[in-house]
Amino acid sequence: MSGSATASLTALNGVSAASELAQAPTMGKALPVLEGLAGLLPWGGLRRGSTVVVRGSTTLLLALLAAATAEGSWAAVVGLPDLGLVAAAELGVVVHRLALVPAPGPELVSVTAALLDGLDLVAVAEQPRAADARRLSARARHRGSVLLPVGDWPGADLELEGSGRWHGLSDGHGRLRARELTVRSRGRGSAARGNQVRLTLPGGDMVDLPTDRPDLTVASNKPEPRPTDQPRLRQVVS
């Protein structure tokens, strides 16, 4: 990793290289998540030092970052050039504590390692070689940060998979108002049994849909109420 890359990261307000810290973060301590997601995690949150894979939903990734950034943690997303900051903010992510590296290129591993040294949560949407992936997971364990790979990752502690549908249509017309996200977990050790929850999230700006599409599938014949600012969660027995 080049010295300029390290200098750029440590120039951020509140970010320090791990080698400069007098004491590393408490290993095993969990960073907070939205209340309904906590039941998916055997630690009740995102445990420091863990690797948690996210599949199927960028919305799920942003939801995992929301509570931690709201309570002062810094996060980074690597390799997602189309990530929407407006959508992130609507889900509760504090975007001035979110660093973006849209296209790390050949520096993927060194950039991700540098971010793990200084930030609490690092999401990476590109897959390095298996050996490099394991080294990054080991670095997260050593530094007490949380690694959130998007997609396949060898040796992950936990895997979360999201799938969703939109609500708000009525008889083939209307506006999208909210998204229902189903999240399933599986992992090792205490997480091996798996679990699932459904999360209703704000839909952001309403989107007008054409009325001449009878083939559109609707979730309900009744318009959904506009969601509150906070995501609403409900537990589903698996």
The whole-number pLDDT of residue 178 equals 65
Please check the confidence at residue 28 and state whether its pLDDT lies above 60: no
| Amino acid in the structure at residue 148 | L
Sort 222 into a burial class: Cβ within 10 Å, 0-12 / 13-18 / 19+: exposed
pLDDT band at 206, cuts 50/70/90? very low
Q: Is the CB of residue 179 less than 8 Å from the CB of residue 167?
A: yes
The whole-number pLDDT of residue 70 equals 96
- Percent of residues, the chain, with pLDDT higher than 90: 47
67 DSSP 8-state letter: H
Q: Where in the chain is the domain with CATH 3.40.50.300?
A: 26-159
Q: Which residue has the higher pLDDT, 156 or 214?
A: 156
Please check the confidence at residue 196 and state whether its pLDDT lies above 90: no
Please check the confidence at residue 94 and state whether its pLDDT lies above 70: yes
Please check the confidence at residue 12 and state whether its pLDDT lies above 70: no
Q: Is the CB of residue 95 less than 8 Å from the CB of residue 88?
A: yes
Q: What is the architecture, at CATH level 2, of domain 26-159? A: 3-Layer(aba) Sandwich (3.40)
Average pLDDT score over residue span 140-146: 97
- Percent of residues, the chain, with pLDDT higher than 70: 64
